[in-house]
Structure 1
């Protein structure tokens, strides 16, 4: 343990005659420090450490914790908090201070505090999770050397700017509206159809902010969308410093970019959800592209929504927030609806319906699979009519996209004799057959094994693939379309660094005739030769128990349709084909007319009647254990203890149930739903319930971990 303040006074000899008396020893001060403490540790508040001098809140430092030395951040003293050290308590000293760095801004700390409070985590867990991992490995001296090298390599920004295309009439109207409201720091929902030119709006708004000496933050949902957007920004702002922030960067590069942001050297920051915590000292604008995308919700640790925190950050820092999407989330759509139309009226909505350059949205054709002969369905995943449409595109030298949101060759292998299936030994899921490397792979825990030569149960050599994935679909298309250049883009083909960019370059260069892929190719890509998009098996989401499934499916299909017909000269031939067993479903009726507003209106009416978000507010308490009975038993105990508290806050607690994928990596998972008509009431209940959850955890033997998920994406 460190020395107490009273024991630190050093004895001194009497001063020589005529000499200046020594300055009195400075009494050390207590500094609140947040560290990365996991939720189960119970360390929600800042820890006190001794420092020889006062430290500005936001200062990075290293502190001792047990036998280790960890990274920490000096934090703000809470109002009414007593900083005096209790009698009998000896505090440890700060080990090192990162003086070379400016403190993390006050607005950044306020955002972290809000996220920690709202999502029921500790400030330290949130703060340290969004800092570059490389910082944890460096000493103060090493960091100072990095900063010296970084500053030496930075070239002065020139302010040069790329050519500005003339805006369309709709773009001009949107820009005028944004300029008129910029001083009010509003939240604006830009509802622009695919190909309507939303990126040009982002570029011009960023230009306005940068020219005023401020910084712009642009969020994208996935890493694979960052490089092409970065290219657009670099081309428009060749004399400005544009940096990216996402987990796909090397640790050294991520730290370099983060340091440029904190030092105010970066003008524009592009990144995925973690970039919402970028410490920008001169923030002037936040843009969230494809704001509907579920990737903005963190699924591990602090389960925050970057889109929602972007709105909070805009309010905290007094800067405008622009949310863009062709298919907005129903929560954002409801927030942008006027109160007279049943909405919340919190956001401003601007619309761009027309495509740039005279392009039109594709004609949607539904193929009723129930009318096809069984032998056709047995031999191929593609209907004869769709194959004919693909051949027409081949003959004209045009490109097609075939969407199947399931990677691998087949979802499962099975034995025709005994019924054995390729189940995962550690998860309640099937292992997917990947033909290219002859493996069975679990997409939940990662377990990978070679395909057995015969059935493990009965020895039958005739084990067959059941169902289809993108790998099998690619093979069938190559057989059905001789001479066609068939490409595939999914998580399997883009594992290596640079693989995605290489495949996309082939598509843009016209070296691929038919592109097969999952949802990762359905959004954000500008394929100028694409005239046909086909959805092979989209019905699964229509009858899902997850109430958000129709919203996600409609968004995916609308986004995929938007890849076709982006060039005006091909717009009259643009089509989207949907193979479905339920052509009369309301979702497909809205898709045929590209009428997002009608779909949103119908979905919101259903949710209001069912008492679902955005008309009610949810949280999930999740528990993991080696046995399902243990997880559910603990959930029942903490639920029973909270009955009176729940009634007091008018909160409903539902019985615990297993997750849809009940077991992952030998851990049984269960959840308990918490519901309230009032968001503040839900927050008050969760905060009060936290003490019970921590107290009861050690009493349940076998419980591995628990977590609260506020505003969950799936139930």
Structure 2
């Protein structure tokens, strides 16, 4: 007699099919087994799911289809992994199939039995990991204390360590201690961005050997990702390094989870299931009995408050390795500088002195391209995007106007498209223009060997091609660069030993933003940028962080001068509590995209009108529908509605009850909608 199976598949977004589908199998299959099943006219990958004893049996007249096959050789996905997926799907209001199948390698969906068997043979052998002790530096006292606390309690732990305090070595030793105690254990180490993965991977490979370490991130080819995933799933890989997608890696013997730079917004997924990898890492640690370490020099206010209330155990590492001092912060009042000066004369002089001494400087401007806008001096024309409510950025290097939202690109016009005026000029400044301007300002400055100043720009435009980022970073590390110009890509995690001066240009836009999280992000970014200076203890005393601002009296800069994150966090948390903002309240956004703004807001208003009477609604405040900050992208109008509650549980009950209502609404012109739980931008 055939066995009935509950199978989850990647159902389309907003499908009314949100739970497992029923299929038949000649043999009983364990939950977690990967199978191929017919779905409509296609054959898709599915996961045998745990049967719900309370679920009603399928109708007697339903013609249940048999499964098409089983992926032989791949062990069933563990129960803890399935519980993680189930929790993420429920909390973030998505279907289990969408979450589960997005976490699996794409190649699993199309390989036949012979191809899969060939891939399985390439998985590294299951060998015990051993640390290469000779390559391990001696620990400082604060590192030893942090490790001792990690070993003494369950956590979760918040490792609050200054930039350059040796957090990475603590991660390495924590992994080493784990594998020495339990040779079969596995560790997961998450980083916020792909460009931080190679250097971290080289450290772990040098310490533990290449056969023990695999990476999981979107920069891998499909065959690489499948091979690494299989090695982790089989237990052959003891250490998995990954970006946010790594939180869903199948690790049957997971005992340690590290989330480096835990404050970084990149851990929040912005498409599909909008999950927070950091928050899921904490949940997964509790689920599997694994130790969780969240590390940062500038923790998120949510994590900091959890430490204040005792939910996380806080570990402090305030001192830099080698007794090196944190850079001196100098705030430059641009109100007292020459008009239209891009770099203040004192900053320019300080850079020239360092170049003459053979030291490096870094200029941080979080805006790529040559200029954010190209404008006509005779009429009101600006380089707006015809498909978005945003301007196209002027890129001088290839003479294009490029929209950073939809990608629409055109050659720069010879004259104004409206009035024919030939005098069209760039407004504002991006990293490309800054690089050019620096070349002009530093033309007369000479290096110790008498050579001209060498300037390198690192941003999303200069690192598009494979291997270019690694090559540029090698130039910086090798001393072949005098001035590094970059966006936030260069402010995180890099161990630049020769940089003694870091300057932040034009950071003021975040000071008075409508986004209540903007000051938190700015402070973290400036602290991280400052941390790139003076990492060599011999040069630490002379290292400086310069901040050019039109608002030098702002309290954020007072805390930055003292490198006092605790004071900044206390002030921000006090303001948040008074305003009833997270982490003292819980939020979710309902976002809608439609052909017109009216259709998008009509859907949101209909959803709001249907909300009273739903479970938990009495504890939830629904605000009016409003256009999003960038209202139109690629000719699609966007709007959002905020739901807020002082109770996380009440908000979750309400969202669950609201979901079928949203699925039932059929607004003409609506393209798609999504619920974003714990949004980063409101």
TM over 0.5: yes
Tell me how far 1:64 sits from its aligned partner: 0.5
Q: Pairwise mapping of residues 279-318 of structure 1 onto structure 2 (< 5 A)?
A: 279-318=250-289
Decide which of 429, 434, 442 is 1:481's aligned counterpart: 442
| Aligned residue among 540, 556, 570 for 1:587 | 556
* Other structure's SS at 1:582 match: coil
Give the match's secondary structure for 1:624. strand
Q: Are residue 61 (structure 1) and residue 35 (structure 2) matched?
A: yes
1:634 is matched with 603
* Aligned mate of 2:322, from 347, 351, 357: 357
CA distance in 1, matches of 2:556, 2:9: 47
**C-alpha distance in 2 between matches for 1:682 and 1:593:** 39
Separation of aligned partners in 2, 1:49 and 1:356? 59
Residues 192-231 of structure 1: pairs in structure 2 closer than 5 A? 192-211=161-180, 212-213=182-183, 214-231=185-202
Q: Deviations over 1:91-133 (max 9, x none)?
A: 1110010121000110000000000000000000000011111
Is the 1:400–1:531 contact (alpha carbons within 8 Å) kept by the matching residues of 2? yes
Contact 1:533 1:577 in 2 (8 A): yes
Q: Secondary structure at the match of 1:453?
A: coil
Note if 1:129 corresponds to 2:102: yes
8 A Cα contact 1:32 1:75, kept in partner: yes
Counterparts of 1:16-35 in structure 2, within 5 Å, are 27-35=1-9
Compute the displacement of 1:238 (Å): 2.4
CA distance in 2, matches of 1:535, 1:128: 42
The 2-side partners of 1:502 and 1:52 are apart by 55
Q: Please tell me whether residue 464 in structure 1 is matched to residue 425 in structure 2.
A: yes
Residues 260-281 of structure 1: per-residue CA shift (max 9 Å, x gap) = 0001100100000000000001
Displacement after TM superposition at 1:712 (Å): 0.1
Gapped runs of 5+ residues in structure 1? 1-26, 338-343
- Alignment coverage as a number of residue pairs: 671
Paired position in structure 2 for 1:271: 242
Q: Which residue of 1 aligns with 2:144?
A: 172
Q: CA deviation at 1:202?
A: 0.1
* Partner of residue 251 from structure 1, selected from 206, 222, 232: 222
Matched with 1:569 is: 538
Q: What SS is found at the alignment partner of 1:543? A: coil
Tell whether the 8 Å contact from 1:649 to 1:684 is kept in structure 2 after alignment.
Answer: no
1:347 to 269, 291, 312: 312
Instruction: Check conservation: 1:622, 1:706, Cα contact below 8 A.
Output: yes
Structure 2 residue 671 is matched with structure 1 residue 704: yes
Paired with 2:664 and 2:127, the residues of 1 have a C-alpha distance of 56
Cross-structure match for 2:681: 714
**Distance in 2 (alpha carbons) for counterparts of 1:210 and 1:281:** 15
Distance in 2 of aligned mates of 1:138 and 1:657: 46
Partners of 1:619 and 1:675 within 8 A in 2: yes
Q: Which protein shows a greater Rg? A: 1
The residue aligned with 1:408 is 369
Tell me the alpha carbon deviations over residues 66-93 of structure 1, each in whole angstroms, 9 at most, x when there is no partner. Answer: 11111111101113224x4421111111
Q: Secondary structure at the match of 1:436?
A: helix
Structure 1 CA distance, aligned partners of 2:557 and 2:376? 36
The answer on whether the counterparts of 2:160 and 2:316 sit within 8 Å (CA) in structure 1 is: yes
Residue 519 of structure 2 corresponds to 550
Alpha-carbon shift at residue 39 of structure 1 (Å): 2.7
Could you give the per-residue CA deviations for residues 160-196 of structure 1, whole angstroms, max 9, x where no partner exists?
Answer: 5242221101111111111111xxx320000000000
Q: 2:460 & 2:283 partners in 1: Cα distance?
A: 33
Note if 1:381 corresponds to 2:381: no
Partner SS, residue 683 of structure 1: helix
Aligned pair in 2 of structure 1 residues 155, 687: CA closer, same or farther (>3 Å)?
Answer: closer
Pairwise CA distance, 1:159: 2.7
- State the Cα deviation string for residues 416-435 of structure 1 (Å, max 9, x = none): 01120000010000000000
Partner of 1:99: 72
Cα distance in 2 for partners of 1:683, 1:556 equals 32
CA positional deviation for 1:240: 5.1
Q: CA deviation at 1:647?
A: 6.9
The corresponding residue for 2:588 is 619
- Separation of aligned partners in 1, 2:64 and 2:129: 50
After superposition, the CA RMSD in angstroms is 1.2
**Offset from partner CA, 1:645-664 (integer Å, 9 cap, x none):** 37744100000000000000
1:330-345 to 2 correspondences below 5 Å:
330-337=301-308, 344-345=309-310
Query: For each residue in 1:206-233, what CA deviation from the matched residue of structure 2 results, as whole angstroms up to 9, or x when unmatched?
Result: 0111221200000000000000000111
Decide whether the 8 Å contact of 1:62 with 1:95 is kept in 2: yes
| Compared CA separation, residues 283 and 558, structure 1 to 2 (3 A) | same
Q: Secondary structure at the match of 2:349?
A: helix
5 Å-filtered alignment, 1:382-461, equals: 382-461=343-422
Q: Which of 643, 648, 651 is the equivalent residue of 2:620?
A: 651
Equivalent of 2:650, from 677, 681, 688? 681
Listed as ranges, the gaps of 5+ residues in structure 2 are 444-451
Question: Which residue is equivalent to 2:47?
Answer: 73
Q: Secondary structure of 2:65's partner?
A: coil
Per-residue deviation, 1:42: 1.6
Deviations 1:120-164 (A, max 9, x none): 00000000011111111212332122213x14x648556352422
Q: In the aligned structure 1, how far is the partner of 2:454 from the partner of 2:118? A: 51
SS at match of 1:534: strand
Aligned to 1:367: 332
Q: Distance in 2 between matches of 1:61 and 1:204?
A: 39
Task: State whether residues 441 and 447 of structure 1, in contact with CA within 8 Å, keep that contact through their aligned partners in structure 2.
Answer: yes
Q: Distance in 2 between matches of 1:139 and 1:43?
A: 27
The verdict on how the C-alpha distance between 1:31 and 1:647 changes in structure 2, with shifts beyond 3 A counting, is closer
Q: In the aligned structure 1, how far is the partner of 2:313 from the partner of 2:408?
A: 48
2:92 & 2:640 partners in 1: Cα distance?
A: 17
Counterparts of 2:644 and 2:127 in 1: how far apart (Å)?
53
Change (3 A) 1:105 1:491: same
Please report the TM-score for the alignment, with normalisation by the length of structure 2: 0.97
| CA shift in 2, pair 1:447/1:463, >3 Å | same
Helix, strand or coil at the partner of 1:73: strand
How far is 1:259 from its partner?
0.4
Q: TM-score scaled to structure 1, two decimals?
A: 0.93
Residues 314-348 of structure 1, C-alpha deviations (whole Å, 9 max, x = no match): 010011100000000000000000xxxxxx32110
- In structure 2, distance between residues paired with 1:297 and 1:140: 36
